[in-house]
Amino acid sequence: MSIKNLVNKYIMWNWSWNLDSALRYKHLINFIGKSDPEIIVEIGSGSRGISAYAKVESIGVDLAFDRGIESGLQKRVLASGNSLPFDDSSVDIVLSVDMLEHVPQSIRPSIIQEMFRVVRSDGLLYVAVPVGRDAQKADRRVYDSFFKIKGKAHPMLLDHVEHGLPDKEEIVSLVEGFAAIRGWEVTKSENTPIWLWEWNLMTFAVERWIPGLRHLQRLLLQPFFPLLSRCKSNNNYRIILIAQRGNHAS
């Protein structure tokens, strides 16, 4: 194998895992390991999605995919989250992770409604989304530092900064409202201390202190993920809502 191929292989390996995404999926991965679902659909998955972390087949739904990234276990479907190309009650797990903040507030109800439409009566719906003013302030600090150092907008945070993050109450009300129609229960938790989220982005995306460190992010962070995932705070970056029938949400 040539040096160029080795470098490319390392680059793909390095960016097929990152701390923030691993934290987003952590609770759901634990559930998948216990339930062994057949059909997992991720709304706004991007070109990697949960398959890169849970090592299971999934259907990623998005408006576009990076064809330079291998699909791996992810099957890709071009579609909008508010018009899913799946039958009623046909999906074991439907999830949306850090996607709802990228769409207009007026569209969010129809996306949540579609997610409830396609999930089976014994399935699970999983929503994770950054919320609140403190998370938004952290977004702005990271975005401004990235722009100052890189001379361009941070692609992930551009929508966050231009449109703001959803209110926690808005997202909770949406999920609980549609869950109540089905007689489902919703459990709520918070995810990723804001200080940890900001430190990670400042260190490995902005490279505020050590240029080039992004190329070592997986080597440096993945071994410490079990420890980092246990970090607790009263001020967290995102909420996680899990909806399902009966008293089984975890």
Tokens 């999830």 sit at which residue?
95
Measured distance CA(147)–CA(192) in Å, rounded: 24
Distance, in Å, from the CA atom of 33 to the CA atom of 223, rounded to the nearest integer, reads 20
Residue where the block lists tokens 């408006």: 63
As a whole number of angstroms, the distance between CA 96 and CA 45 comes to 8
Question: What rounded mean pLDDT belongs to the chain?
Answer: 94
Strands 119-130 and 91-97: parallel
Q: Note the pTM of the prediction, 2 decimals.
A: 0.93
* 4/127: higher pLDDT: 127
Chain centroid to CA 111: 15
What pLDDT does residue 68 have?
Answer: 81
Query: So what's the pLDDT on residue 247?
Result: 61
